[in-house]
Structures are given as C-alpha cells and as structure tokens.
Amino acid sequence: MSKLRIDILTLFPEYFQGPFTVSIVKRAVTKKAVDLRLHQLRDWTDDKHHTTDDVPYGGGAGMVMKPEPLTKAFAAIKRGRKKVKTIFLSPQGKPFDHAMAQRLAKEKSLLLVCGHYEGLDERVMSQIDEEVSLGDYVLTGGEPAAAVMVDAMVRFLPGVVGDRDSVEKDSFFNGLLDYPHYTRPRSYRGQDVPEVLLNGNHAHIERWRRKESLRNTFLKRPDLLKKVSLTEGDKKLLVEIEKELQG
C-alpha cells in the first residue's frame, strides 16, 4: 500500500509524462511509495467546449479559472477520504523549500492544483489549504511547480533513495549547503583531489567536510547561517574560514 497519495489537477496531464516516468519519481511509483494520479480539469465542465476560464469581472487583461469545474473536481477527487491537503501552486504562495518538502512528504494525501491565466476565482480559495510558490517569478502554469514539488518530496519516502545517508547530507538538510564532492580521476586538468580525502582518517574527513559545508554556505548563502544552530566547533571553523579568505 502506498505511503503517500498525490493527486494533480491540471489542464495538461501530458506535461507529466516525462518527469514522472524517469529517475527517482519513477522508482517511487514502482516501489509503491507514492500513488500519483493525474486529473484533467476539463472532465468536470458541462459545456461542449469544456470551458475552464472566463473574462474577469471589472475588466482587465487575462482570464480567470471558473469556480464550478474546480469545486466539482475537488469534491470528486476527495470523495471517500477523510483528509486531503489541497495545495494551490501560485506565485503568491509560501516559498517551497527543503523543510516544506519534508513536511508535505509526511502527509497521507495531497491534491496539487495547477493554476493558469490570472489564477482561480477567489470564491474557490476557501477550499485551498495552502498556497505554494517556487519563487518570486511567474510560470505559465502550475505544472512545472508540481513536478518539482513531487520530485523533492518523494526523496523523503521510505525505500525510494537506497542510501538514506545521501538524503540526510543533501544541501539544506541540516540548514547548510553541501560540501564539495570528488571522484576519479585523482588528478584532472592540474587539479588534485584534496589530500585529506585520501588518507583514510575519518575524523579528519568529517572535519574537512563540515568546514567546507560552512565555507560554501558562508560564500553562497550567508543568510542561512543566521537560521541554523551552530556549535562552538562550527564557530571556530568559521573564524578559520574568514581568516583564510582574508588572505
């Protein structure tokens, strides 16, 4: 039995044929860690043209998604289930991040609503539990955002990623960016793998990785350092890093 069910309400179910049939998402589906179901919003329209949008009252550019098909779709998709968290993919939503992916992956059932045009009729918003955005920019529709969210969430489901350690050491898992990684060959275009990674001393390796994780965060996302709890050892490493950068 699947641990997590994700329903996606969309005008373009075919969009997901690529993202959901390869890599980690495909593995999650195969292992039945996630039950992905796509729904065509037009199936809940009554007119011969299967209309899902109309012009906005008061005038203005763009179209607005009609309330009737959405309400009917929500009711049909949720029928017989006690709790389905309904999420509208919207540029006005909370920014999607690592913590949110981890939190949503613990839900039993999610309904992702892919918006288009100028958004949903406001009278439908009372049926939405949460608005989520990928960032401060506008997409042509919610489908890319839904694909990204599913990809990020399924990594946390049991049995999907074979090496749990790789998930737990991803960037953002502990609030910091990841450390640099190296593989063969040992020397490439005049650049060598750091000697500390070759000496077999695990304590030294862990210290180096922690320091480089802090360095990456300090250089690329210093804002994250204000949100994470740093140990006294971390603070000493940051002092070392700052001295090294100063020269």
Q: pLDDT digits over 122-155, tens only?
A: 999 999 999 999 999 999 999 999 999 999 999 9
Residue 165: pLDDT band (50, 70, 90) is: low
Please state, rounded to an integer, the average pLDDT across all residues of the chain. Answer: 94
As a whole number of angstroms, the distance between CA 65 and CA 45 comes to 12
Of the residues 13, 56, 67, 91, only one is catalytic, namely: 91
Query: Judging by DSSP bridges, how do beta strands 85-95 and 109-114 pair with one another?
Result: parallel
Is the separation of the CB atoms in 146 and 7 below 8 Å? no
CATH code: domain of residue 227? 1.10.1270.20
As a whole number of angstroms, the distance between CA 189 and CA 6 comes to 46
State whether 147 and 175 are in the same domain.
no
Rounded to the nearest 5°, which phi and psi values hold at 91?
-65, -10
Quote the domain boundaries for residue 112: 4-154
State whether 15 and 85 are in the same domain.
yes
As a whole number of angstroms, the distance between CA 44 and CA 71 comes to 9
Of the residues 14, 43, 168, 170, only one is catalytic, namely: 170
State whether 145 and 200 are in the same domain.
no
Rounded to the nearest 5°, which phi and psi values hold at 13?
-60, -30
Rounded to the nearest 5°, which phi and psi values hold at 192?
-100, 150
As a whole number of angstroms, the distance between CA 60 and CA 219 comes to 44
The residue out of 104, 130, 154 marking a domain boundary is 154
Cα diameter, the chain: 71
In a domain, residue 164? The reply is: no
pLDDT at 153: 97
State whether 119 and 182 are in the same domain.
no
Rounded to the nearest 5°, which phi and psi values hold at 112?
-95, 125
State whether 134 and 184 are in the same domain.
no
**pLDDT higher than threshold 60 for residue 166:** no
Structurally, the chain folds into a number of domains equal to: 2
Tokens of 15: 């969009």
The residue out of 154, 188, 210 marking a domain boundary is 154
State whether 180 and 132 are in the same domain.
no
**pLDDT higher than threshold 90 for residue 170:** no
Q: 170 an active-site residue?
A: yes
CATH code: domain of residue 93? 3.40.1280.10
Please tell me the pTM assigned to this model.
0.87
State whether 35 and 77 are in the same domain.
yes
What is the separation of C-alpha 184 from the centre of its chain, rounded to a whole number of angstroms?
31
First to last CA, the chain: 57
Of the residues 5, 27, 42, 155, only one is catalytic, namely: 155
Tokens of 204: 């030294």
Interacting residues of 240 by C-beta distance below 8 A, sequence separation 6+: 211
For residue range 172-222, what is the model confidence (pLDDT) as tens digits? 668 899 999 999 999 999 999 999 999 999 999 999 999 999 999 999 999
Of the residues 107, 118, 178, 234, only one is catalytic, namely: 118
State whether 182 and 74 are in the same domain.
no
For residue range 173-182, what is the model confidence (pLDDT) as tens digits? 688 999 999 9
pLDDT at 133: 96
Helices (H), 117-192: 143-154, 164-168
State whether 124 and 184 are in the same domain.
no
The residue out of 126, 154, 182 marking a domain boundary is 154
Q: 155 an active-site residue?
A: yes
In a domain, residue 30? The reply is: yes
**pLDDT higher than threshold 60 for residue 41:** yes
State whether 95 and 179 are in the same domain.
no
As a whole number of angstroms, the distance between CA 155 and CA 28 comes to 8
Q: 46 an active-site residue?
A: no
State whether 128 and 181 are in the same domain.
no
As a whole number of angstroms, the distance between CA 85 and CA 129 comes to 6
**pLDDT higher than threshold 90 for residue 229:** yes
pLDDT at 164: 54
